Amino acid sequence: MANFKDKEDLILEKIIDNLKERFTGNIISIYGIGSYFDDSLPSDWIKKDLDLIVIVRSLKSIPKPDWTEVRYEKKKFDDYEVWLAFNTIDAYQDKEKFEKQSFSNYEWSLLDLKIPDNSILLYGEDIRVQLPDISKIKFDFDDILARSFYHFDNSFKEAIESKNIKESMREFTKGTFKFGFYLCIYFDKSFSTTSIRAIANKIEELTEKNILDKIVLNSIKESILFRRTNKVSESYIKLRNNFLLSIFSLIGKGKLHRKMNFNELISFLENTFRGLKYMIKFTKNLKKKYFSLRTETE
């Protein structure tokens, strides 16, 4: 079990003690994932999300909302957004079962727990040896791309509905890092880390090899800057729009796992998480502008 020393660790200890008290005898292990537990990040990294994976013997005693079978808890603890995801070893051994019991991408989640550098055991038994071999893992690129777009849609939503630019920027960075991961695993089949620093380094390598253009790398760097300072060095709206244009260009030219024209991309967005309305609107406006410019030059 991890040792708790600092104030932040005492918060973590309270959360774990509460879990042990409520689910005595049912918890096999508790893992920490994400940036909060990533020691490779700079010391000034702003850590607001605390994500824990709780492996249990049975989900029957774990409360759930009426609208889903997924067992999870989301709560505010001091300045942290705490996410507790409950699951079983069986689910990690069966993708179909996992997808019924979790909101997360299966392959990403498997990498998080299987690779020691991607997570930290906080309590209980280390179950990594019981998880499937990742050497033959087959990524669902559609799903990871959709999750990137989900955060970009939230970015638009926060800016338009809530007028919360900082939260909009946070959502943008989440989408940027997820899309960065997508690029890493697509262009390098051996890539197996979920660390933001490793993703940034791989994107820089792909840029130097002229596989990606500098817009992608710049967006990753600006996202990292924001996570350290709550600021970006250029217009955020311009940064976001240019990054999305770069993604659409890659998709339109067939340089990623699938090629989509505007209509196909809009259809993809319409069928992602019950419809990403802000991304759909952005894409439709872009399509209208593109065809207008093409008509003027013909």
Residues 172-177: what's their mean pLDDT? 97
Residue 269 and residue 165 share a domain? yes
Query: Does any domain span residue 17?
Result: yes
Q: In this predicted model, what pLDDT tens digit does every residue of 140-152 receive, in sequence order?
A: 999 999 999 999 9
Q: What is the mean pLDDT of the chain?
A: 92
Give the DSSP letter of residue 204.
H
Q: Indicate the pTM of the whole model.
A: 0.92
Residue 192 and residue 91 share a domain? no
Show Cβ contacts of residue 191 under 8 Å, excluding neighbours closer than 6 positions. 184, 185, 202
How do beta strands 72-77 and 80-87 pair?
A: antiparallel
Query: Does any domain span residue 135?
Result: no
Q: What are the CA-CA distances from residue 19 to residues 56, 123, 202, 259, 298 (Å)? A: 11, 11, 37, 45, 65
What gap in Å lies between CA 294 and CA 297, rounded to an integer? 5
Looking at 68, 96, 130, which one is the last position of a domain?
A: 130
Per-residue tokens: 22 = 């409520």
Residue 258 and residue 155 share a domain? yes
Q: For residue 6, what pLDDT is reported?
A: 61
CATH code of residue 95: 3.30.460.10
Residues 267-291: what's their mean pLDDT? 94
Residues 48-54: what's their mean pLDDT? 94
Looking at 98, 130, 162, which one is the last position of a domain?
A: 130
Q: For residue 298, what pLDDT is reported?
A: 40
Is the pLDDT at 23 greater than 70? The verdict is: yes
Residue 153 and residue 126 share a domain? no
Which candidate, 215, 236, 84, places its Cα nearest to that of 170?
A: 236
Number of compact structural domains in the chain: 2
Looking at 84, 109, 130, which one is the last position of a domain?
A: 130
Is the pLDDT at 4 greater than 50? The verdict is: no
Residue 208 and residue 103 share a domain? no
What gap in Å lies between CA 63 and CA 66, rounded to an integer? 9
Give the DSSP letter of residue 69.
S
Q: In this predicted model, what pLDDT tens digit does every residue of 199-248 receive, in sequence order?
A: 999 999 999 999 999 999 999 999 999 999 999 888 899 999 999 999 99
Residue 126 and residue 253 share a domain? no
The percentage of residues in the chain with a pLDDT greater than 70, rounded to a whole number, is 95
Q: For residue 10, what pLDDT is reported?
A: 83
What gap in Å lies between CA 102 and CA 55, rounded to an integer? 12
Residue 167 and residue 49 share a domain? no
Residue 269 and residue 218 share a domain? yes
Query: Does any domain span residue 136?
Result: no
Residue 73 and residue 154 share a domain? no
What gap in Å lies between CA 171 and CA 157, rounded to an integer? 10
Residue 233 and residue 153 share a domain? yes
Query: Does any domain span residue 262?
Result: yes
Residue 196 and residue 162 share a domain? yes
Burial bucket for residue 97 (CB in 10 Å: 0-12, 13-18, 19+): middle
Do 169 and 46 form a contact (C-beta atoms < 8 A)?
no
Residue 151 and residue 48 share a domain? no
Query: Does any domain span residue 196?
Result: yes
Q: In this predicted model, what pLDDT tens digit does every residue of 90-115 receive, in sequence order?
A: 999 999 999 999 999 999 999 999 99
Query: Does any domain span residue 212?
Result: yes
- What's the domain range around 59? 7-130
Query: Does any domain span residue 2?
Result: no
